[in-house]
Amino acid sequence: MKEKIKKFINIKRIGKVGLVLTSLFCCTNTCFAAIQDSKIVTGTESLISDLTGWLLILAPVLTVLLVGYFFLRKAASDEMDAKRWDNRIKVAVISCIGVVVASGLINVIMNYYK
């Protein structure tokens, strides 16, 4: 059993990964200094910022439209289908909350690093 654990953990592999991560985190300023001002990086930052802004607007609007449609379909359905429409309404609302929270979090993180 101990041999299986030793093979699974493999100290050499953990040491190599630790060395790579340490060098990556310690030397990022010197390694990536020229990349910060490139058009690709600034364009990607702008794209992410615009996408998160649009997601904060589009997600609630789309959720309201979908929930309205689901309520109409629920009103016209029988008892068994009404449970499915209830489930779809819950999923739509939870998904909207998740998209808004994730978009806001990404926006906050992007603004922190500017």
Burial class for 106, CB neighbours closer than 10 Å (0-12, 13-18, 19+): middle
pLDDT digits (tens, 9 = 90+) for 40-58: 878 888 888 888 889 889 9
Q: What is the percentage of the chain residues whose pLDDT exceeds 70?
A: 67
What is each CA distance from 77 to 19, 46, 70, in whole angstroms? 61, 45, 10
pLDDT tens sequence across 57-67: 999 999 999 99
